[in-house]
Amino acid sequence: MNKDKINQFFSILQKENPTPEGELNYTNTYTMLVAVVLSAQATDVGVNKATKTLFEIVETPQDMIELGLKRLKTHIKTIGLYNTKAINVIKLSHALIEDHNGGVPETREELVKLAGVGRKTANVVLNMAFGQPTIAVDTHIFRISNRTKLATGKNVTEVERKLEKRIPDEFKRHAHHWLILLGRYICKARKPECPRCPVNQICPYKDKTL
Ligand code: SF4
């Protein structure tokens, strides 16, 4: 996709939804970090169900430590990989208290040192909590980037690098959510709904549905 097309692509998505938002529920930056860690290989809906009562009683890393591993597991047991995720959440809560005065760090380097936080999770938190123009390439963004030729690549890192280079600065802040929502509801994995896709005039995907 050339520069003009990329501009058109994001202008259309911006017009449709000027301030897109993610669908994970949280109450502050700390609970956002926890929700994003829990959402790895799980749906936002599933995570929201599990955190509904958890985030009524937990607002800070200290609250989480006081809740304890056993009770945390009871809250999140409907989420895949909950045992490991619970251990990571308790570990990262300790680290936030010990190394960051209970706050959430604002750099990728510091975030990825926390238990359960990889590059993708860090990018999501930097974007959602701190408004940084990061792109976290998940399965939806990977698929759309390749289908539309916005950024082709064999792995998420390759696609992330290309997206960071190609997306114009003015669209970077919201690009992450525009692409995720497009992938979740329209450009679906099995059968994309091209006829109702807002960018179907620009998209060069050869297997577009009629
Ligand atoms: S036109 Fe079809 S393939 Fe292209 S982005 Fe839209 S839904 Fe996906």
Mean pLDDT per 10-residue section of the chain, whose length is 210 residues: 95 96 94 96 94 97 98 96 98 98 97 96 94 90 96 95 94 93 95 97 93
Q: Which residues line ligand 1 (CB under 6 A)?
A: 144, 147-148, 186-187, 192-194, 197, 199-200, 203, 205, 208
Helix axes 29-38, 119-130, angle to 10 degrees: 150
Q: Cα–Cα distance between 148 and 47 in angstroms, integer?
A: 29
**Closest among 29, 76, 38 to 54, alpha carbons compared:** 76
Q: Cα–Cα distance between 107 and 103 in angstroms, integer?
A: 12
Per-residue confidence (pLDDT) for residue 104, from 0 to 100: 98
Asked if 90 contacts 62 with a C-beta cutoff of 8 angstroms, the reply is no
- Cα 199 to ligand 1 centre (Å): 7
Per-residue confidence (pLDDT) for residue 99, from 0 to 100: 97
3 state DSSP class of 113: coil
Q: What global pTM score does this model have?
A: 0.88
Q: Which positions are annotated as active-site residues?
A: 120, 138
Instruction: Using alpha carbons, list the distances in angstroms from residue 98 to 62, 80, 169.
Output: 11, 28, 36
Best mutation site among 147, 191, 193 for ligand 1 pocket (most ligand atoms within 8 Å of CB): 147
Per-residue confidence (pLDDT) for residue 21, from 0 to 100: 87
Per-residue confidence (pLDDT) for residue 175, from 0 to 100: 94
Per-residue confidence (pLDDT) for residue 57, from 0 to 100: 97
Per-residue confidence (pLDDT) for residue 98, from 0 to 100: 98
Q: Cα–Cα distance between 89 and 85 in angstroms, integer?
A: 6
Per-residue confidence (pLDDT) for residue 31, from 0 to 100: 98
Best mutation site among 139, 197, 201, 207 for ligand 1 pocket (most ligand atoms within 8 Å of CB): 197
Q: Which amino acid is at 55?
A: F
